[in-house]
């Protein structure tokens, strides 16, 4: 019987993609990127789970002959703005959400991402031209319904971006419950003059281009945000930490800049740090056992668009654990091969986009080519320094 509460008509209650159903596959004569080495061999997936890793160039009957291509685990993405880009392709343009979610899913699959934590802002600002309105609960409902109906090619989880500098953060967080299986809550504080936007020039460039503000409107925007921080900052941070605990979510910090901020993150129980802005903060994260995540665009471009620390500098200082595609999905795979050249260590580099993020998100069933883990795998050929994705499988089923 059709569930009258479902947003989909009865005729659509099918599984157009098989990503939620276990599949069988053997990729042979490949260079397998294992956790500690690269070997020629085959990976066999039975009923969606890796059942065997075998060395050698033998190609069993029915197997895919990879002809020496690399085979590595599917990429795990913890923080991407991509879903927001699809639902709002231009400022104040509200695109239909289900087609946007399906397009977002297909785009990620096409770049080798097989697990994603979709970042959604919680915490609205209702005043001023740079206002942001509550959307996360409705979008999460639509995403969870689409996931339940098997409409996605890859695995989706929720990531709530808790905007401390806002008016309604705690009210919006209260609408989520453990049944939503929120994976990550990140503590965001975009108050002007600190963290990501210590340089107000960078903030002005960002918001004036995105929101079309003039100088007067920008000044009013800054003043409004500073006022929100004064009124709500401390209460929202304390409340968001408590809400993450209630939801059973991993807690992440965002744009830590000083050792003092990292110490606070540690006291709050933060598991990983998104985009620390200084070497000082990254070193403090390492000292406190907090994994460091940086953006792939920063790594590929050679620097931060906000003028903060370069991801490559942290990589060279052995202060980089996880890479996120951030706002360019295709950058995630590219970044792994960039790091492999920098470190001369492909398994270590691949771990920053597979095992590292899986561990940070407390996903124990994926992130490596190992028997017993999910059959999420990629086939990759390199063209000079550029990885060419030749196949994507989720639980043994081809999705790209």
Is the per-residue pLDDT at 6 higher than 80? no
* 3-class state of residue 353 by DSSP: coil
Give CA–CA dist 175/279, Å, rounded.
37
Is the per-residue pLDDT at 10 higher than 50? no
- Domain chopping of the chain, boundaries: 1-74+367-400, 75-365
Residues contacting residue 271 through CB under 8 Å, at least 6 positions apart:
250, 251, 252, 290, 291, 360, 362
Give CA–CA dist 348/161, Å, rounded.
28
Q: What is the helix (H) or strand (E) element at residue 210, kind and residue range?
A: helix 200-211
* Model pLDDT for residues 312-368, shown as the tens digit of each residue: 999 999 999 999 999 999 999 999 999 999 999 999 999 999 999 999 999 999 999
CATH class of the domain defined by 1-74+367-400: mainly beta
CATH code for the domain defined by 75-365: 3.20.20.140
Residues 216 and 327 sit within 8 Å (Cβ to Cβ): no
Give CA–CA dist 173/182, Å, rounded.
11
* Model pLDDT for residues 42-73, shown as the tens digit of each residue: 999 999 999 999 999 999 999 999 999 999 99
């Amino acid at each position: 019987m059709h569930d009258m509460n479902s947003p989909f008509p009865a005729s659509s209650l099918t599984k157009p993609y098989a990503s939620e159903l276990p599949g069988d596959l053997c990729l042979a004569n490949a260079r397998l990127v294992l956790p500690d080495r690269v070997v020629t061999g085959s990976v066999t997936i039975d009923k969606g789970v890796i059942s065997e890793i075998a060395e050698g160039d033998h190609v069993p009957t029915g197997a895919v002959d990879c002809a020496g291509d690399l085979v590595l685990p599917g990429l795990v993405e913890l923080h991407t703005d991509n879903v927001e880009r699809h639902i709002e392709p231009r400022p104040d343009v509200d695109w239909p959400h289900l087609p946007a979610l399906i397009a977002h899913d297909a785009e990620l699959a096409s770049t080798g991402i097989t697990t994603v934590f979709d970042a959604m802002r919680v915490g609205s600002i209702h005043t001023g031209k740079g206002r942001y309105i509550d959307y996360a609960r409705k979008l999460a409902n639509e995403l969870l319904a689409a996931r339940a109906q098997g409409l996605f090619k890859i695995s989706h989880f929720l990531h709530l971006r808790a905007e401390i500098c806002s008016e309604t953060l705690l009210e919006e967080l209260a609408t989520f419950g453990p049944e939503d299986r929120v994976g990550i809550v990140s503590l965001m504080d975009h108050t002007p003059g600190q963290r990501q936007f210590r340089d107000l020039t960078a903030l002005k460039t960002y918001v004036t281009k995105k929101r079309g503000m003039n100088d007067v409107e920008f000044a009013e925007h800054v003043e409004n945000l500073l006022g929100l921080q004064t009124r709500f900052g401390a209460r929202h941070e304390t409340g968001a930490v408590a809400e993450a605990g209630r939801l059973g979510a991993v807690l992440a910090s965002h744009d830590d800049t000083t050792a003092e901020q990292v110490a606070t993150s540690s006291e709050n129980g933060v598991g990983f740090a998104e985009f620390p802005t200084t070497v000082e903060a990254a070193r403090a994260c390492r000292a406190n056992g907090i994994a460091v995540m940086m953006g792939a665009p920063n790594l590929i471009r050679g620097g931060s668009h906000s003028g903060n620390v370069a991801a490559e500098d942290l990589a060279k200082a052995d202060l980089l654990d996880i890479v996120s595609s951030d706002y360019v999905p295709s950058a995630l795979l590219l970044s792994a091969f960039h790091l492999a050249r920098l470190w001369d260590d492909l398994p270590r580099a691949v771990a920053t986009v597979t095992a590292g993020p899986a561990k940070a998100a407390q996903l124990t069933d994926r992130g490596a080519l190992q028997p017993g883990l999910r059959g999420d795998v990629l086939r990759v050929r390199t063209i000079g320094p550029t990885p060419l994705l030749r196949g994507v499988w989720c639980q043994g089923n081809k999705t790209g």
